[in-house]
Structure 1
Amino acid sequence: MKERFIVDGMSCSACSRRIEEGLKKLQGVREVEVHLDAKTVVVSGDSLDQRVLKNEIEALGYDVAVMS
């Protein structure tokens, strides 16, 4: 299962690392791909909850939109 997000506010590699580390702590997350240039995040894992992932990114200080 994969969930994809557009993340506004990422401006550097520290932002990417912060999001990656934050999401990897969540249950069910196996892999996080942060694409700084495209401002996207792809999360892979088992039984992912889109709302939980979105809330975590927002809690880290970024604006998030779900990609369809």
Structure 2
Amino acid sequence: MNSKEIDSRLAEIEIFKDYINSRIDHLENHKQAAQRKKDIELFKAQQAQCRTILEYLDDRKSILNHVKNSEVV
């Protein structure tokens, strides 16, 4: 994987992270509007899943940056 490919993947990760963050915000709005405890718990669980995805993406980003920085120029 060359530097250009890594940069492309890093950009894709940032776009996906932005989408996941907007999804978390969207779920927060629904959670606040929810009346039933069951619905509130569902939105909390979905937000937790999104945060797990963000952690995974941050890990992938770190790995890609490490590979990029380790390349012999």
TM-score normalised by structure 1 residue count: 0.30
Q: Select the structure that is richer in strand.
A: 1
TM-score normalised by structure 2 residue count: 0.29
- Give 1 or 2 for the bigger CA radius of gyration: 2
Q: Select the structure that is richer in helix.
A: 2
